A = this chain, B = another copy of it.
Amino acid sequence: MSQSSSSASDKTELTYASSGVDISAGEQVVSRIKSLARETFTPETLSDIGSFGALFKADFGDMKKPALVSSADGVGTKLKLAFMTDKHDTVGEDLVNHCVNDILVQGARPLFFLDYFATGALSPDVAVATISGISRGCKNHGMAFIGGETAEMPDFYSAGEYDLAGFIVGVVDQDEIIDGSAVRAGDSLIGVASSGLHTNGFSLARKAIFDRAGHTPDEHIDSLGCTIAEALMKVHTSYLKPVQRLFSDLSDGSIHGMAHITGGGIAGNLGRIIPSGLQAQIVPHTQPGSWPTLPIFDFIQECGEIAEEEMRKAFNLGIGFVLVVSPDDVDKVKTILSDSGHDSFTIGAVATAPGDIDAADAKKSRAVFL
């Protein structure tokens, strides 16, 4: 596309294409995205891809006081794995599932999704493969993929690379918002299994595995039961379906709080929903009777000789989502999760916060590893 024209003599007229922006490639991508997006349209979707703004009916059935719940996210440097392996069709699903979980924490169900795809030189095939993952992720959740932006930005991204961000809007009845204020001392912490790193810690993982230990992505590792790339690229788990089953099968108010375990690890994210005066105390996976970590985390730790404390900040360590419930509900919750195909573990409990915490550390002390 632009390469041939930009090598032309300085005397020729400059064109938009020679500056690195190929409008026809952009139009080709938009037209191919259209059919992917249409497969996700719901009855509320009022516009097609390509209109200035995307239209969606604000009709929330019999909800009394609806609140929109929105979130923006990226895939982080997990994208580098897509570049290394030339496999682009799952990072979009990672992105969608990440966004779905973020708003699920407050009890919201997803409505619609928009993406931002930015690259140095637009390859229609790579863009469409990437966005096919978004479309699949949206379809899995009955969510409409209604718009987005595909940007060709010369000199911004290395050859063959791109960045990808997503925006989700969902809805929850204001009376049913879950924000952790119902969490009580004595509550149990139920950790739901992750599939792997999800979308966090990839800068550290890549440095440990590839730079430090000298592995390559296509190496098969016995303890992982697959190649390194396959283990690292496992799709971010969506917790929407199992949690919606909990909503329907448990009595109202049974879930006191939820946390999606992303950047900052289990304690960093769980602490965000623990009320002042309380402390979520996590029994680490290194202690018997807690949860089994995934082999990929042991592998990363060995490759990078990474201290346990650093591991806890960078990774989910096998727990992708945490539910805070009364001890009386633990068995029922675990059974429902198991019936939905999700392993879960009691990973600790909520206690009254110790009296000797500095005010400066108060927020960080809301969730700690024992």
Contacts and interface: CB of A to CB of B under 8 A. Distances in A.
Main secondary structure of the interface of A (DSSP, over half): mixed
Interface residues of A, number: 88
A16 B306 CA distance: 9
A70 B114 contact: yes
A206 B16 CA distance: 11
Contacts of A15: 204, 306-307, 310
Kindly report how many copies of this chain are found in the complex they form together: 2
Interface of A: 10, 12-16, 18-21, 23, 26, 46, 50-60, 65-74, 76-77, 79-80, 102-103, 105-106, 108, 112, 114-116, 118, 146-149, 151, 153-157, 161, 163, 165, 167, 169-172, 174, 177, 179, 201, 203-204, 206-208, 212, 259-260, 263-264, 272, 304-307, 310, 313-314
A70 B73 CA distance: 16
A59 to B, nearest CB: 8
Contact of A203 (B20, B50, B51, B157): B20
B70 A147 contact: yes
Contact of A69 (B53, B118, B172): B53
For the complex of A and B, list the 3 residue pairs with the smallest distance between their C-beta atoms, beginning with the closest: A14-B304, A167-B167, A53-B103
Contacts of A102: 52-53
